[in-house]
Every structure is written in C-alpha cells, then in structure tokens.
C-alpha cells in the first residue's frame, strides 16, 4: 500500500505529493516544521506541538493557511489513512511559490504538508548502552541571527554540527552557544545529573523549547527530583554523573561519553533509567 501524504488540503499517493521548485521553502528554507509522535494512534502533546508551530510561523511572519483545529484533524486523518498507530508525523509549512527574490510578500500559496511514517531513530542498543557524542565546533545559531526557538526549515546550522558528529562516528553532537555555554544537541535537548539533581540549559541559552524536555522536567519534579534550568559549561558535562538527551523521535536516550570523557561509570545511570521508563509510561498510557 502506497504512503499517503497530505498536501494542499488532500491526501495523495507519495509519488504525487509535489511542490513547486519556486517554493521559497525549497529556495531559501523559508518555512517552519514540527516533528511529532503518535502512540497507539494518538499524537503525544499535539496541542503543544501545534502551538509551537504557530509560534514559529508568527516569528517569521508566515500565516498558516488553515486553522489549528483543521490542522489537528488533518494530522489524525493522515495517520489513519496510513494505518499508523505508533509512528512519526512531520508537519511542514512552506512560504509558497514566488519569484527568485527573497521577498516573502511576493509569494503565494503556502503549502501545508503532513507526512506520517514508521520511524525508529536510534537502534535499541543505544538505549541500553548509551550514546557517545562529541562537541561540535559549529556553534548554535546566535539567537539574534536566527533564534533556535524557531523550528524553521533552515536546519543547516544543525546539519553542519551533525556532519561533524558523523565524521567522528557519533549520531549526535553537542552544540555550544556563541558564549561557549552548553545549548543543545543537533536534534535533541540535553540534561545532566549531578549529586542526584537534574540540570538542563535554560531557554535563553539559545535552544529549542523541546516538548520532550518539558515533559521530562515535569516527570522529574513529580518524582521528587530537583531540576535546575541553569547555564552549563562543557566542563559541567564532563563532570556529570549522568547525561541524557530528549527529543520527540529519540524520547530519552542516555549518553555515556562526551568527547574524551566517560560520563559516570560509562553506563546509563539510575535517574536516566528512571526517567526513560517514566517517559515511556507517560507516552504509552491508555
Ligand atoms: N532541539 C532541536 C534542535 C530539535 O530539532 C529538536 C526536535 N527534534 C529538539 C531539540 C527536541 O524537541 P522536541 O522534544 O520537541 O522534539
């Protein structure tokens, strides 16, 4: 059965899901997107993802041509048309087609695209044994240049850091901000554990306000853990007892080595394991 993609208000076979080569989403990365997860046919934190999508669009003065309510139904419709219970949904809004200039006011017909797919980002082994990552030399975008809180179609900043990671044999890479502080990874937020407490960089360090990050902070607090959203240096990562990453696709994944430094005893730590299962329980709850 062919995959069905939602585009311009209708579901069509993937081969027919096409956009104009003049779309500024393609020409300039002018657009926004979201990555969501569905568990048992229900999208996890759909409202939060849609709010973030609308916020990203507003930040680049892009008007999404359908209502939040219609978007929510379209997501559900796309999942159902593809018979996906547990999967990944990519929501994309492009600026629309226009002449070969930058001016967004010259464009028309922004495209709303929804792709639902089966996806497993990391192999099981990474969850059991933990990831090794490196610190990229590519710094995270300066918030005054392109705010990392905007989930735009321009992901080159992250891709350059990801390439550095891959070059070093790592699937993720840590990114520092322009001040040299820890920001986030290329597609995941980062947490540390030290002395039984949790630490994660604050939003003003220049990072995506991750929905998994928020959920994990809530779960940790509910479990009685102390969570600090505070400025972190690379040395704090090296000295951590535990480290883990969060993201819609990755969920919660342990990190056991950063650059040359082994984290803790080189195995996923107890708080990481506790939060990994708490998150699994939360997402798979009926
Ligand atoms: N940071 C970046 C740069 C991301 O692209 C993502 C999403 N893949 C995240 C963090 C995690 O955000 P979320 O938990 O909302 O998926």
pLDDT in tens, the chain (286 residues): 689 999 989 999 999 999 999 999 999 999 999 999 999 999 999 999 999 999 999 999 999 999 999 999 999 999 999 999 999 999 999 999 999 999 999 999 999 999 999 977 688 999 999 999 999 999 999 999 999 999 999 999 999 999 999 999 999 999 999 999 999 999 999 999 999 999 999 999 999 999 999 999 999 999 999 999 999 999 999 999 999 999 999 999 999 999 999 999 999 999 999 999 999 999 987 7
**Gap between the terminal Cα atoms of the chain:** 28
Compute the distance from residue 36 Cα to the ligand 1 centre, in Å: 10
Range of the domain at 203: 124-283
Q: What is the C-alpha to C-alpha distance for residues 173 and 171, in angstroms, rounded to an integer?
A: 7
Residues 278 and 286: their CA atoms lie apart, in Å, by: 14
Domain end position, chosen among 117, 136, 162: 117
* Residues 128 and 260 reside in one and the same domain: yes
| Token code pair at residue 247 | 């993201």
188 with 207, same domain? yes
| pLDDT at residue 285, as a whole number | 77
CB 253 within 8 A of CB 210: no
Ligand 1 pocket residue status of 246, Cβ below 6 Å:
yes
Q: Which of 67, 84, 117 is at the close of a domain? A: 117
**Considering its fold, how many domains does the chain have in total?**
2
- 111 and 242 together in one domain: no
- Give residue 104's pLDDT: 98
Residues 88 and 172 in one domain: no
Please tell me whether residues 258 and 155 are part of one structural domain: yes
Task: Name the residue with the closest Cα to ligand 1, atom 5.
Answer: 187
Question: Would you call 110 helix, strand, or coil by DSSP?
Answer: coil
Kindly list the catalytic residues.
151
Separation of 150 CA from ligand 1 center, angstroms? 11
Residues 203 and 188 in one domain: yes
Last residue of a domain, one of 75, 99, 117: 117
CA separation, residue 137 to residues 142, 230, 245, 275, 280 (Å): 14, 22, 19, 30, 33
Claim to verify: residue 80 and residue 171 sit in the same structural domain = no
Helix (H) or strand (E) holding 199: strand 197-200
Tell how far the Cα of 189 is from the centroid of ligand 1, in angstroms: 6
Residues 53, 145, single domain; the answer is no
Asked if 140 and 84 sit in the same domain, the reply is no
Q: What pLDDT is attached to residue 91?
A: 98
pLDDT of residue 1: 66
CATH code of the domain in which 178 resides = 3.20.10.10
What CATH number did the domain enclosing 9 receive? 3.30.470.10
Same domain, 133 and 271: yes
Please tell me whether residues 112 and 209 are part of one structural domain.
no
């Amino acid at each position: 059965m062919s995959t069905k993609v939602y585009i311009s208000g209708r579901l069509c076979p993937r081969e027919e899901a096409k956009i104009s080569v003049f779309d500024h989403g393609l020409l300039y990365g002018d657009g926004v997107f979201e990555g969501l997860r569905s568990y048992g046919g229900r999208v996890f934190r759909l409202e939060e993802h849609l709010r973030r999508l609308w916020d990203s669009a507003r930040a680049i003065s892009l008007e999404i041509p359908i209502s939040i309510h219609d978007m929510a139904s379209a997501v559900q419709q796309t999942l159902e048309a593809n018979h996906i219970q547990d999967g990944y949904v990519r929501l994309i809004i492009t600026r629309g087609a226009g002449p070969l200039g930058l001016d967004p006011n010259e464009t028309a017909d922004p495209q709303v695209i929804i792709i639902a797919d089966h996806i497993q980002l990391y192999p099981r082994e990474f969850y059991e044994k933990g990831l090794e990552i490196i610190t990229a030399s590519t710094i995270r975008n300066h918030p005054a240049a392109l705010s990392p809180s905007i989930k735009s179609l321009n992901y080159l900043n992250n891709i350059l850091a990801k390439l550095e990671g891959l070059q070093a044999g790592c699937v993720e890479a840590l990114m520092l901000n322009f001040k040299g502080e820890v920001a986030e990874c290329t597609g995941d937020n980062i947490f540390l554990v030290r002395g039984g407490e949790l630490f994660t960089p604050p939003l003003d360090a220049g990072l995506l306000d991750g929905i998994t990050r928020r959920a994990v902070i809530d779960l940790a607090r509910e479990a009685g853990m102390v969570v600090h959203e505070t400025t972190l240096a690379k040395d704090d990562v090296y000295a951590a007892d535990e480290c883990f990453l969060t993201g819609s696709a990755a969920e919660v994944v342990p990190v056991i080595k950063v650059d040359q430094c082994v984290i803790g005893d080189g195995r996923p730590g107890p708080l990481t394991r506790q939060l990994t299962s708490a998150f699994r329980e939360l997402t798979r709850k009926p």
